[in-house]
Amino acid sequence: MRKPALPRRAALLVSAMLSLSLAATPARAETAPKPSAAPKPSPLAKPSAASSAWMNKVVITPLGGHLLGNPEAETKLVEYMSYTCPHCAHFEEESALPLRMGYVATGRVSFEVRNLLRDPVDATVALLTHCVTPNRFFALHRKFLVEQPKWLAVAQGLNPEQTKRWGNGPMPLRLRAIAGDLHFYDMVAGTGLTRSQADACLANEPLLRKIAAQSQEAQTIGVNSTPSFVINGELLKDEHDWHALQPKLTPPAK
């Protein structure tokens, strides 16, 4: 069963983080599958030269989302997701290969990722993915989702005393504590983001507010759970996984 995303809390979350009033250990509220129950990562197929043009094109949209593929595609798919949402990780596992190779590569479908913030751990990952260069976003996005069971298990294994730093002190220090405790610095090291750059990223309040604005947009259009999908401006009410979403997309070229 998908979990409500509560987009109204995004602005309150950011406000609380910036005003030092956020409660500690929010990640424990998430119910994640055990690591052993997660599907094994499926390697992405190597695209042909013809499909590489759209597969490698990433642009930042006006709302701050990351769009993969043809910006002028006839079918524009938007996903509202959270990095601490197990169902979002499952969608990535199901959809990564068929969506990218079967749809985005044709130039007929574009795929945009927008954030719907739930908690400080989610906000930490969202900031880090937004601080790499656009052409590296989707690889890091996938890495955090594929490895989600591992780092959520670490988060859920920490005791309140260990996570006290997550809720005390200035926002940058709290997010750095999360990144350190959950080994996020190691995860971004291969993307060209140094430790000092990652620390600067986690202190970027304007960027955090811009990411939170995506959650406010989600509230405006009626999103109340993750993952949720929008096609050509229309929110899909009952499609929350790849099996249900695929029939709604433009049929791939034969």
Residue 124 maps to which CATH number?
Answer: 1.10.40.110
Domain span including residue 172:
3-18+53-248
76-88: pLDDT as tens digits: 999 999 999 999 9
- Give the number of domains in the chain: 1
pLDDT at residue 48, rounded to an integer:
52
pLDDT of residue 254: 53
User: Does residue 37 lie within any of the structural domains?
Assistant: no
Q: What confidence score (pLDDT) does residue 88 get?
A: 98
Residue 199 lies in a domain: yes
Assigned domain for 136 exists: yes
- Does the residue 72 lie in any domain? yes
**What is the model's pLDDT at position 238?**
92
| Residue 88 placed within a domain | yes
Query: Does residue 121 fall inside a structural domain?
Result: yes
Q: Which residues contact 196 (CB under 8 A, 6 or more apart)?
A: none
203-244 per-position pLDDT tens digit: 999 999 999 999 999 999 999 999 999 999 999 999 999 999
- Flag whether 39 is in a domain: no
Q: Spell out the residues 6+ positions from residue 207 whose beta carbon is closer than 8 angstroms to its own.
A: 127, 130, 131, 201
- Tell me what pLDDT residue 228 has: 97
Angle at 13 between CA 7 and CA 15, to 5 degrees: 125
Query: What's the pLDDT score for residue 129?
Result: 98
Residue 197, pLDDT score: 97
Query: 11 pLDDT exceeds 90?
Result: no
Question: Is residue 29 one of the residues assigned to a domain?
Answer: no
Distance CA 158, CA 45 (A): 37
